[in-house]
Amino acid sequence: MAQPRAERLMNLHILLLGARRFIGKDAIREAVYPEHARGPAGDEAFERAFERDKDALRQIGAVIEVGSADAFFDDEIGYRIPTEQTSLPEIRFESDEAAVLGLAAQVWQQATLAKATGRALAKLKGQGVEIDPGRLEVVAPAISADEPAFEPLWDAVGKRRQVSFAYRRPSETEPTTRRLQPWGLARSSGRWYVVGLDVDRGAERVFRLSRIVGPVRASGKSAAYDVPAGTDVRAVARRLSPSFPSVRAEIWLRQGTGVGLRRRAESTAPLSDREGWDLLVVEGPVHELSDEVLTYGPDAVVQSPPELRDDVVARLRAVAQSAGGAR
């Protein structure tokens, strides 16, 4: 059975990012595309899938380098993703790595997919490809994509297929059907949004995924429309979605942890009275900061402001109560 495309894309991303040297096509095929058997038909199917997946990763911000996969011969082409290109600075509305991280979270937070990724890594190691776990810190799942609409919309964005879905606004009692040519996905304050052209209204629109009711249905052929040249999905989402007030937070963070939080910090300084810990000053919406702080568990402690600390505590209590009730 063919693996889900989201799983395959994340496997490919992790393998190219974790490799210390360029990985040849044969090794990539063995680890990520085992369903394509050797032979003319299988070779052609693998090439098509590999090219589509590389394009999809580039669309969500990954920089794929091409170079020699053999130390002695230049004719063996290989691929990799340099961490210095992936580890981009944070943007206030959403980090440049948001789409990649959203997909990463979708994979790593589901045990079956995490196991599949582990098998792919093991295959590469068996072929002598060195994987450096430290290079994978940039895809730590600091955010999640739990909405059922995420994967079909992600697939439609990559294929440029029109979609339709039922959407319920807060002021409405009944959902209405919307038809959209999706341009991309963006995240703000712990919520996912899809940006695109509303076909019936003839204008760009932003829809919150958690307000989509029922399935997302794709229709028509792939490549049915073009995303307007120069479109910045994050800028459109920032302009059209509700704004969230930011707070300036002080957070204790254990040294050697919290890569994403450190990148967005205004300042970082060792704590004189708490060995092994740093004090970070970070700005952002409360829900967004809560999402990230909770990701690091006991390695992050909110000192201020009170509203951020209260939000983190309330969410932890809710999780504890839910776990207690499930016993």
Q: Where are the beta strands (DSSP E) in the chain?
A: 23-24, 65-68, 77-80, 162-167, 176-188, 191-198, 203-208, 212-219, 246-254, 267-270, 277-285, 300-304
**Integer Cα distance of 181 and 199 in angstroms:** 7
pLDDT at 30: 82
pLDDT at 141: 40
> Domain 150-240 classified CATH 2.30.30?
yes
Q: pTM of whole model > 0.95?
A: no
- The CATH code that applies to domain 246-325 is 3.30.70
Q: Domain boundaries in the chain? A: 5-139, 150-240, 246-325
Residues of the chain below pLDDT 50 = 1, 72, 85-113, 136-144, 326-327
Tokens read off for 197: 């052209």
**Integer Cα distance of 139 and 168 in angstroms:** 32
Query: What are the beta bridge partners of residue 247?
Result: 284
